[in-house]
Amino acid sequence: MSAEVQKFDVVVIGSGPAGYVAALWAAERGARAALVEKKYLGGTCLNVGCIPSKALIHCVEMLDMARSGKRFGITFGEPQVDFDKVRGYKDRVVKQLVTGVEHLLNKREVAVFRGLGRLQGPGEVAVELEDGTVSLQADRILLCTGSEPVCLPMCSLDDPAIMTSDNAVNLPGPPKSLAIIGGGAIGLEFAYVYSGFGTQVTVVEMLPRLLPSEDPEASEVLARALVKRGVKIAVNSKVTEVADSDQGKRLVYECEGECTTIEAEMALLAVGRRASTAGLGLEEAGVALERGRVQVNERLQTSVPSIFAAGDCLRGIGLAHLASHEGLAAVDFALGREAHVNLDCVPSGIYTVPEVASVGLREHEAQERGLEITVGKFPFSALGKATVLNEREGFVKLIAEPGTGRMLGGTIVGPKATELIAEVALAVENQLSMEDIADTIHGHPTLNESVGEAALAGLGTPLHNLP
C-alpha cells in the first residue's frame, strides 16, 4: 500500500531551536509548513540541554546564596536539598516551555509529524509514524537535525555509570564523586552544578587550560573559582583508560609522560558534540556531507538547490541562538528573500559562577594572527554594583581596531556576563566604536556600567580604575 501523500511549501526536519523557529517563521511568511520530529519537540536545548541545565544551575545559585547569608547579616539554618523537588522544578520548567512551543506551532497552523523523517529525493520526506508512513512533498526542505554528544572509544553509553550532557540533567541524585572528561562549557557547567550539590568533582582536560577557545585570563578566573568550590582540575591530561572499579569507574590519564588514576562513582563525557545526520538519507538524496556535517553555501543552501540547512547539523557546536538565527535566515533564503548571518558575531556563554561570555574576536586570537588591536579592560572589583552583590571576580575586556576604535569583540567573566555581552554583540554587529559605547549613558548602579568603563579604559581615559 502506498504511503499517504501531503503537500507543503516547506518541510522542516528537526524541531530544536533551529527547526521549530524555522517552521514558525515559514508560517509567519505565509508558507504552508510541516515540522518533523523523531524524539523531543524543542530538541536537545529545551529537553535535555540548555533549559534543564540552567534550571539546575539556578538551584545551585540559590543554594550558594543561602549559604552565604551570614556575610550579609542574614542568618538561618543550614540549607537542605531535596533533590526530588529540585528535579521536579527542572521538569516543570521544561514542560512549560515545550508546551509553549506546541501552542505556538498550533496557533500558526504548522503541521507536526512525530516520527523519523528520511529524504526520498529533493522534494520528498518520508516520515515513519507509529501507525504507518506518510510522504511529505514540498518545494523546499530545511534540515535542522541538530547534534549529539561525542563518545570516546573506550566508553559505552549503555554503561549506567557513564553519562553525557543528555542524561546528566536527569540523575536521581548527585553522585558522591564524578569524573568529567572535558573542560569546555558543558563540562564546567556540570562541574559547577554537581560540586554545588556536594559531589566531589574532578575535571580532566586534554589541552593546556580550561575553556581553550576562550580568553586565557577568563579561563584562569573560572579555574580559580572552581578550585575554591573543591573541584579538582587536571589539564594537559589525556584519558587513556576508563574501566569498572569498586567505586564505579576508574580513569587513567596521562600528563607529561606520567599516568594518574582516579576513582569516581560516575563519569561524564563532555568532549564535544557532532552533527546528527546519520540515517536520514542525505547522501542518497545528493546532499554533500563532510565528516558528517551538512555542507552549505552562504545562503545556507546544500548541494541540492531545493534543500537548505541550519544549526548544529552544520557544525555540531551546540549554540541554540545561532541555530535559531540560521533557521530564520534559511527560511528567508528558501522563500527567495534576503537574510543576514554574521558568523563573526556569535555570542557564547558559560553559565557557571562567575559566568563567562564572549563575542567576536578574542585578545589571544588577535595575538595569534599578528593583528594590532586596542584593548579596554575594567575589573568588577572596581564596580559599585558588583561590590554590593559581593561578586567582584572577573573583568570586562573590549577589543577594537586601532585608530577607528571599531569594535571587534569582547570577553566578560563575572556576574551576569551572559547578559552583559549583548551590548558588546550589538556594537560589533553594527560596527560601533569604543567611543560610541563610552558616550552611551549607562545606568548606575548597574553591572552594565562595567562595559562603559572598559570602553573608557580602551580610549586611554579610565575613570574608576587606574591605568
Pairwise CA distance, residues 112 & 24, whole Å: 11
Tell me if residue 177 falls in helix, strand or coil: strand
Angle CA(50)–CA(173)–CA(17) in degrees, nearest 5?
15
Check if the beta carbon of residue 141 is closer than 8 Å to that of residue 38.
no
End-to-end CA distance of the chain: 78
Beta bridge partners of 414: 355
Cα→Cα distances 29→24, 139, 191, 336, 338, Å: 9, 15, 43, 11, 13
Reduced DSSP (H G I as helix, E B as strand, rest coil) percent helix, strand, coil of the chain, to 5: 35, 30, 40
Helices of type H across 116-261: 165-168, 185-196, 216-228
| Nearest of 102, 49, 26 to residue 320 by alpha carbon | 49
Active site residues: 444
Check if the beta carbon of residue 24 is closer than 8 Å to that of residue 110.
yes
**Per DSSP, which regions of 47-193 are E strands?**
111-114, 116-121, 124-129, 132-143, 147-149, 162-164, 177-181
Check if the beta carbon of residue 445 is closer than 8 Å to that of residue 388.
yes
Residue 119: which residues within 8 A CB-CB, separation 6 or more?
A: 125, 141, 280, 281, 282, 284, 285, 287, 307
Pairwise CA distance, residues 144 & 264, whole Å: 37
Tell me if residue 394 falls in helix, strand or coil: coil
